[in-house]
Structure 1
Amino acid sequence: MYKLIAIDIDDTLINDDKEVTPATQAALEAAIAAGVVVTLATGRAYASAQAIARQTGLNVPIITYQGSLVKNLMDEKVLYERFVPQDAVRKVFEYCIEHNLHLQTYVDDKLYSRDENQKLIDYAAANRTQYYVDPDTEKLAGIKTPKLLIIDDPAFLDELAPKLRELLGSEVHITKSKPHYLEITHKEGTKGLALEFLADYFGCKVSETIAVGDSWNDHEMLETAGLGVAMGNAIPALKEIANYVTASNNEDGVKQVIDKFILQK
């Protein structure tokens, strides 16, 4: 019997219209009624993720910033938090300025960039989040952050990732949440470790958890969970490691998982 399900938001829980469908919403409610902990696990900032969590009626801790922040929805208590090492933050800022790359940082759950451009505008629109522009990079690079995000061409980011791994070393975790998003967190800021933390918090084994996702930043979570589920629209590499592939985010794939493995319809 599964006791906890962790669900990614973008291209997983929500469809391409950025909505949780009534059918998926009903399935979430049925899982909660059956005594299962339903939580979200996202690369999004807490401020962005909690809006969706509250809409869907969740009242548990949620995993945000790729696993760098686990925070309770009820009282907003921080349960687990990891910041990108400060030395790594400075190196990323220097590298991005030198190579003229778009970099975003998060300060007190607010999105900051050193300049306003189309990448920032599009990201903020897609995530329905506000952004702030501060050209003082010395200041931005000196503030604790759970996540840095570089937005660029997918092929370019694939070449950049190993260069950054070499530059930053083993203290950071680098992953892609979408083909054009490269995300940098603390090495312990992964959805997999956050899922382990939450399972322990709720007193269940990781073998009693389900994780559902679509992108490479979900792979640690799928590998950790008792049942790792890839969406029908997931990248091929994630489907290869998944225990089960469900329908797409536009076909209520999350509902199908809940019906099959939790409600056993």
Structure 2
Amino acid sequence: MLKKKIFFIDLDGTLLDVGFGISASMSKKNEKAVVEASQKNIIVISTGRKYSKKVEEIAKKTQAKYVACLNGSYILNPINNQILKEEIIQNYLVKDIFKIAQKQKISFSTDNAKHLFGQGLQNQILAFITCFKSFQYQDFKTENAHKILIMSISKKKIVKTFYEIKKKYKGVVSLALVAKGRAIEITNKNATKGEVVKFIANLENFDLENTIHIGDSMNDASTKNIVGTLIALKSGSKNLKKIANKIGPKSKPAGVAKILRKESD
């Protein structure tokens, strides 16, 4: 059967509508709706999360054909875990961005380990909230990464850091303000959720008009003007809702299920 549409679905704050944070899970209603939609459409899990056993299980439960992790830093087939596309941040860039974070006295992490580098009580608090292990700046060892995460309790410091990195590395990295303005996600310039849409649509020989992205934060904003329809959850980022083609219901309860019932016919 020819598939009608490609649905790109975010996880945190979107498909995962039960619980909070790293322990959030998918409701049975959302799971059932995605499985039903997969019968006539292609499902892609498009997340800022690293590929893990949990993400793999979600992909299999929802019959997703593809999984894009770390905002598109790598795209894989969840059936055999074959990596179809991979983008990294070179170690010299990782080192430079780490120095900027250190200068601003804010916390720094990469996808290589659940380690958060910073100083003082703030770093310990942020590490506790995110289930990372707290380390001092001097413990950091530079290596290639797929994604950098910078965070702070101070929104002012995050915004200042965001624009400093954006100006210095324009056209080199992609940045997104997340966590209600208290964190920055940084990836290779070719690793965005918008690039995921283009890659999968080309792979499947699909017209972009027949693609839909569902998300809640500004790392979903890169799909604007690429995906056929960008749907922002009502409970999501105000800035994302400003640019979205449609505003969906709140993520809880089963917001994705409600969207799919409307859009997958």
Q: Do these two structures clear the TM 0.5 threshold for a shared fold by scoring above it?
A: yes
The 5 A counterparts of 1:66-215 are 66-107=71-112, 110-114=113-117, 117-124=124-131, 137=139, 140-141=141-142, 143-152=143-152, 153-179=154-180, 180-215=182-217
State the match for 1:33 in structure 2.
39
Q: In structure 1, what is the Cα distance between the partners aligned to 2:54 and 2:169?
A: 28
The SS at the match of 1:44 is: coil
Q: Does 1:230 align with 2:232?
A: yes
* TM value normalised by structure 2: 0.86
Could you report, residue by residue, the CA deviation over 1:85-125 in whole angstroms, capped at 9, with x for unpaired residues?
Answer: 33321111122233322101122xx433346722122113x
Q: In structure 2, what is the Cα distance between the partners aligned to 1:137 and 1:223?
A: 41
How many aligned residue pairs are there? Answer: 253
Q: Structure 2: which amino acid aligns with 1:230?
A: A
**Alignment root-mean-square deviation, CA:** 2.3
Could you report, residue by residue, the CA deviation over 1:179-229 in whole angstroms, capped at 9, with x for unpaired residues?
Answer: 222111111111001111011122212111110011111011243211110
The SS at the match of 1:200 is: helix
**1:4 aligned to which of 3, 6, 19:** 6
The structure with the largest helix share of the pair is: 1
Q: CA deviation at 1:16?
A: 5.2
State the match for 2:63 in structure 1.
58
Q: CA deviation at 1:84?
A: 1.3
The SS at the match of 2:190 is: coil
**1:21 aligned to which of 27, 43, 63:** 27
* TM value normalised by structure 1: 0.86
Stretches of structure 2 that go unaligned for 5 or more consecutive residues are none
Q: In structure 2, what is the Cα distance between the partners aligned to 1:12 and 1:92?
A: 29
Could you report, residue by residue, the CA deviation over 1:133-155 in whole angstroms, capped at 9, with x for unpaired residues?
Answer: 696656x31x1101110111333
Q: In structure 2, what is the Cα distance between the partners aligned to 1:97 and 1:155?
A: 15
| Change in CA separation of 1:240 and 1:114 when aligned onto 2, cut-off 3 Å | closer
Q: CA deviation at 1:59?
A: 4.4
Q: Structure 1: which amino acid aligns with 2:32?
A: A
Q: CA deviation at 1:2?
A: 4.2
Q: Percent identity?
A: 20
| Change in CA separation of 1:169 and 1:238 when aligned onto 2, cut-off 3 Å | closer
Give every structure 1 segment of 4 or more consecutive aligned residues whose post-TM-superposition deviation is greater than 6 Å.
none
